Amino acid sequence: MNVAERKAKLKEFTDHPENACRTGIPITYHGQIITLNAYAIPLDYLVYNPYNGRIGSVVKSYERQNHTLDPEDAADKILIEKFLWESKPDANKKTKDRLLKEHQQKHGIVTADGMIIDGNRRASLLNNIMADTNIPFNEKSHCQFFIAIILPEDADKKEILALETTYQMGEDAKVDYNPIEKYLKCKDLKDAGFTDDDIAGMMDSKPGEIRTMLSALKLMDEYLDEYDYSGMYTQLDKREDQFLKLDPALRKYKAGVASMWPYDPDADVSDLKLIAFDYIRANFEQTLFRNIISVPTAKKPAASFFAKEEVWKAFKDAHFAATDDVQEDTVQAIMDTNPPDLGRALKARDQKWQQKVCDEFDDNYVQSLDKLNNHANAAKPLQQLIKACQALEVVDVNQPSFISDASVRGCVESLDELVARFKGILNM
């Protein structure tokens, strides 16, 4: 059924309000409260919204990797249903059971030409029930209809987007959305011309939270671009917190932190961003991530590797030495092989890269953290000397490398010079 046919079928409902199954439903439309009716619409008269807020990241990732989804195409309809099911499978099983036993309690919203604005998940579950041959028809006959408000024909794209956001993300508390979906929805609304205050009202948030999400999403896009994953938002799974920590730190460093070493707000901060991206890609422990990026304060001048020039430069050089020569398949090469699950193939690419760098990342991090702690405790000489003595006591001098490694000799000579200097200070 094409757009014109769907529109004609739905007009038959609105032309006969006496056939409504629910009446006088208040809805905010073009800034005014109006009342509309809900009708039991055959599922065949409707199409999914592929950019539904619940699956926006998955759909955009799929389209970047394959083709634009057409909800009128039978194969693409199946894909959209698959994405909706996999977004929350446990919750979907429960909702499917409720729809079958208790019928559809909450109405949806559809456009005058049959696109589902609110209720894509429920409609997909109704379709799922009707396709389930294990359920007798007499038990599921009510599921061939979707109860929904039909919007006026003059509903434009901006108004539809506002309604979709308000009803999906402002009220739907039963099934949480993937965090990245909220970020993408914020951007869609901003691009449509809504203000931060407008978006906050639709999403039941504060304007400051909207600005935080928009800024963080910009950084996420830069991350995806860096690894040739542009538009593939599924590559951000379980990485939100690191970006929320990194984004304000980068903005502060770019603005300038006067109490720090004379770093370059462009070149040095760019290096910090790239290294932080690598640690995000490597799924580095979130609680330890802050030791790389945290902005120093008067009470904690040694807050991170970047806060101390001596620590940062050695850390940076070792990091780029570890990553510069790493070889991996290009994203395009992987896409050209047409793997059955491209998302999984790309995540496997990240895992292979991680395996190549993880040991050097861990070693560099531990050594740098030790240096940072030494800076933090510089005003505690006794504790530092005790720590040094304890470390020297466990050096295994029977290891062949103790004799063969020239660097060992250099370290011993440095220790000798330090001990001589300390003795001179103490008049020993």
8 A C-beta contact, residue 249 and residue 296: no
* Residues 251, 274: Cα–Cα separation, whole Å: 14
Terminal C-alpha separation, the chain: 96
Q: Are residues 192 and 242 in the same domain?
A: no
Q: What is the pLDDT along the chain (428 residues), one digit of tens a residue?
A: 899 999 999 999 999 999 999 999 999 888 889 999 999 999 999 999 988 777 888 898 889 888 999 999 999 999 999 999 998 899 899 999 999 999 999 999 999 999 999 999 999 999 999 999 999 999 999 999 999 999 999 888 888 888 888 887 765 443 456 788 889 999 999 999 999 999 998 888 899 999 999 999 999 999 999 999 999 998 998 899 999 999 999 999 999 998 899 999 999 999 999 999 999 999 998 888 999 999 999 888 889 999 999 999 999 999 999 999 899 999 999 988 888 888 889 999 999 999 999 999 999 999 999 999 887 654 456 566 666 677 777 888 888 888 888 777 878 777 777 777 877 787 77
Closest-CA residue to 53 (of 200, 205, 165): 165
Domain C-terminal end among 150, 183, 217: 217
**Residue 308: which H helix or E strand, with range?**
none
- Distance of alpha carbon 378 from its chain centroid, rounded? 39
Whether 425 is in a domain gets the answer no
Q: Are residues 45 and 156 in the same domain?
A: yes
- Residue 135 burial by Cβ neighbours in a 10 Å radius (0-12, 13-18, 19+): middle
Closest-CA residue to 86 (of 59, 115, 114): 59
Domain C-terminal end among 154, 183, 217: 217
Dmax over Cα atoms in the chain, in whole Å?
A: 103
Of the CA atoms within 13 Å of residue 115, those in its CB half-sphere come to 20
- Distance of alpha carbon 409 from its chain centroid, rounded? 48
Q: Are residues 283 and 159 in the same domain?
A: no
Q: Are residues 202 and 255 in the same domain?
A: no
Q: What is the pLDDT of residue 23?
A: 96
Q: What is the pLDDT of residue 379?
A: 44
Q: For the residues of 104-139, what is the DSSP string, one character each?
A: --S-EEE-TTSBEEE-HHHHHHHHHHHH-TTS-HHH
Whether 23 is in a domain gets the answer yes
Q: For the residues of 198-229, what is the DSSP string, one character each?
A: HHHHHTT--HHHHHHHHHHHHHHHHHHHHTT-
Domain housing 324 = 238-379
Number of domains in the chain: 2
Q: Are residues 325 and 196 in the same domain?
A: no
Q: What is the pLDDT of residue 175?
A: 46
Q: Are residues 366 and 333 in the same domain?
A: yes
Q: Are residues 143 and 248 in the same domain?
A: no
Q: What is the pLDDT of residue 383?
A: 63
Q: Are residues 66 and 123 in the same domain?
A: yes
Whether 325 is in a domain gets the answer yes
> Which pTM value belongs to this model?
0.79
Domain C-terminal end among 359, 379, 399: 379
Closest-CA residue to 45 (of 13, 20, 19): 13
Q: Are residues 80 and 213 in the same domain?
A: yes
Closest-CA residue to 84 (of 114, 57, 108, 103): 57
8 A C-beta contact, residue 116 and residue 123: yes
Whether 395 is in a domain gets the answer no
Cross-strand pairs, 25: 36
Whether 246 is in a domain gets the answer yes
Type of residue numbered 45: Y
CB atoms within 10 A of CB 235: 22
Q: What is the pLDDT of residue 218?
A: 97
Whether 299 is in a domain gets the answer yes
* Residues 289, 307: Cα–Cα separation, whole Å: 14
- Distance of alpha carbon 173 from its chain centroid, rounded? 19
Whether 396 is in a domain gets the answer no
Q: Are residues 243 and 209 in the same domain?
A: no
Q: Are residues 182 and 291 in the same domain?
A: no
* Angle formed at CA 114 by CA 111 and CA 116, multiple of 5 degrees: 70
Q: Are residues 37 and 162 in the same domain?
A: yes
Q: What is the pLDDT of residue 399?
A: 85
Whether 107 is in a domain gets the answer yes
* Residues 143, 125: Cα–Cα separation, whole Å: 9
Type of residue numbered 254: K
